Structure 1
Amino acid sequence: MVIRMMKYGIYFAYWEQEWGVDQKQYIEKVKKLGFDVLEISCAMLKNISTEELHEIRKRAEDAGVILTAGYGPAAGENLASSDPEVVKNAIAFYTDILKKLEILNIHTLGGGIYSYWPVDYTKPVDKAGDWARSVENVRKVGKIAGECGVDYCLEVLNRFEGYLLNTCGECKNFVEEVGVDAVKIMLDTFHMNIEEDSIVEAILLAGKRLGHFHVGENNRRLPGKGGFPWYEIGMALRAIGYEKNVVMEPFVRSGGGVGSDIKVWRDLSRGASMAQLDEDAANSVDYLRYVFGGPNSDGRSVLR
């Protein structure tokens, strides 16, 4: 019998204040810190050569690191748009990205990849119309994702960042309406804390449709540095038989494009040096392995 276990990762932007950086540099770093997975942004894949894609794949394989991808689509990449030209551009964009993910041996793409991010609330919101258009277009893109071996994971976002899918229940209905196996639910504890009546119940509701799981504290810091019930969250993941990736998405540094987009208006790292950020991340992944691992966990420590 093959025993599969959750793999643990972190998003590159934990260390960064700008999006457009060399993300390859984090492949070896995350491995040394005890992670299995590095999540990159699709933004780096827009203008990249096939040669570089192969170089990144080899670098990750040599390091024994799994790559996943995340993305917050621009308004011009909105699959829910009422503008046919925007939809045409969005489908072309995702087709290109998914083929690049296949070359990279990336099997998970997550984010608000059914709409755009962050939403401009100065414009009218047509949730019903956008829902119908997004279902139709996600169905098209989801089929391409399936052909590329990629799980197309729709992230449930809080009301301040998106309006189409705010709860797991909404996302489950949407995914069932799309009806494509590669299209799955993505949950994030930060967003769930704002929108869900119960984080545990939302995970149980997602069940086998849960394709990707992001973790971060209520304050967007690393797991173990806030107030979430991580033991209970781990129990819920085990209850649904979740065996995929658990990726930390902490944002702790203010300033720059990352700080502005994520709305980090104070230094949540509390003046941490890069070495301290590294130590905090290593401690956090140890902690998460321990609390998510259950009674037979081989977690190496608890958070220091």
Structure 2
Amino acid sequence: MKLGIHAYAWCSQWTNDTLDLIDRVAGLGLDFIEIPLMCLDTFDAPAIKARLDAVGLGAVTSTVLLADTDITSDDPAVRERGRAYLEDCVRATAAIGASSFSGVIYSRHPGSLRARPTEEHWQRSADGLRPAAKLAGELGVLVGIEPVNRYESYLINTCAQARELMARIDAPAMRIHLDTYHMNIEEKSFADATLLAGSDLIHYHLCENDRGIPGTGQVDWDGIFRSLAALNYQGNAALESFVDNTDNMNTWVWRQLAPDGDTLLREGVDFIRRKQREHGLL
């Protein structure tokens, strides 16, 4: 299993001013950095790739769809912007040599309805993602559907629902990205949901139930790592927390979750490495 960290542990938006985070992550002995694609205007692919190559660090990317890029919107123009944005994200991912692109890429984040989603919502989501999935296959990028909790999405809350959307898209590049913070709310079992993802699991966000330091809360880490070991999981797993609120997405950080990003990283990595050793995933 490859271990990394989301850049949001230190910054609220990716720009060339945050390129030094690549050096910091490499210096800490991690395998990759997760780079947000929320603001493609400040995403300098050549500069990022040059820095990654210079230090020998891997990368993945992620994003969420907002109101103006919601591929399930009633407005065809919004759906089209969303489709174009997802394809641009795939191109950006390929341009830095990253292995995967994932996140809340199937509907607006945060999103709510007055009733349960309809067949039309599901179909719009699948139709909106399919072109990006096709392009990803051509460029050698995998695309991960990340289920999130009911307060952040009305469409995909569980691994089973991610599997349903994958089947509707029916593209070889589509995969699953799980997140323990959301699983803590929506899944009956961390272990069973992990096993359900199976060989389609490509990314795992390692978050405590409050998004604080892993190992300090209620997440069933042993159940998770038993399932990852059973799958012989060799994919990516990243610590994910947020240092503050951002202008480019909702993070709902109203209090200090750790003394600082460095403390969260140090203590979180120590805990995860210990679990990897206990379950034979180092």
TM-score, normalization by structure 2: 0.91
The corresponding residue for 1:222 is: 213
The corresponding residue for 2:188 is: 197
Task: Look up the SS of the partner of 2:257 in the other structure.
Answer: coil
**5+ long unaligned stretches in structure 1:** 1-5, 299-304
- Contact residue 217 and residue 228 of structure 1 kept, 8 A: yes
The corresponding residue for 1:95 is: 87
Q: Provide closer, same or farther for how the CA distance between residues 296 and 94 of structure 1 changes in structure 2, counting only shifts above 3 A.
A: closer
Q: Provide closer, same or farther for how the CA distance between residues 235 and 129 of structure 1 changes in structure 2, counting only shifts above 3 A.
A: same
User: Highest CA radius of gyration, 1 or 2?
Assistant: 1
Of 13, 33, 36, 1:19 maps to: 13
The more displaced of 218-227 and 104-113 is: 218-227
Q: Provide closer, same or farther for how the CA distance between residues 169 and 145 of structure 1 changes in structure 2, counting only shifts above 3 A.
A: same
Of 225, 229, 254, 1:265 maps to: 254
Q: Provide closer, same or farther for how the CA distance between residues 127 and 186 of structure 1 changes in structure 2, counting only shifts above 3 A.
A: farther
The corresponding residue for 1:246 is: 237
Distance in 2 between residues matched to 1:140 and 1:171, nearest whole Å: 17
Residue correspondence of structure 1 range 39-188 to structure 2 within 5 A? 39-46=34-41, 48=43, 52-119=44-111, 121=112, 126-188=117-179
CA RMSD of aligned residues (A): 2.1
The corresponding residue for 2:276 is: 292
Letter in 2 for 1:150: V
Q: Provide closer, same or farther for how the CA distance between residues 294 and 232 of structure 1 changes in structure 2, counting only shifts above 3 A.
A: same
Task: Look up the SS of the partner of 1:232 in the other structure.
Answer: helix
Distance in 2 between residues matched to 1:296 and 1:204, nearest whole Å: 17
Q: Deviations over 1:184-241 (max 9, x none)?
A: 1111000000000001000011111112111100010121222222222111012123
Count of residues in Structure 1 that have an aligned counterpart in Structure 2: 281
Q: Deviations over 1:100-156 (max 9, x none)?
A: 22110012111111112121x377664421111111221222111111211110110
Q: Provide closer, same or farther for how the CA distance between residues 282 and 24 of structure 1 changes in structure 2, counting only shifts above 3 A.
A: same
The corresponding residue for 1:302 is: none
Distance in 2 between residues matched to 1:143 and 1:256, nearest whole Å: 31
Letter in 2 for 1:265: W
The corresponding residue for 1:3 is: none
Distance in 2 between residues matched to 1:295 and 1:123, nearest whole Å: 44
1:283 aligns with 2:267: yes
Distance in 1 between residues matched to 2:20 and 2:218, nearest whole Å: 31
Shift of 1:47: 5.0
**5+ long unaligned stretches in structure 2:** none
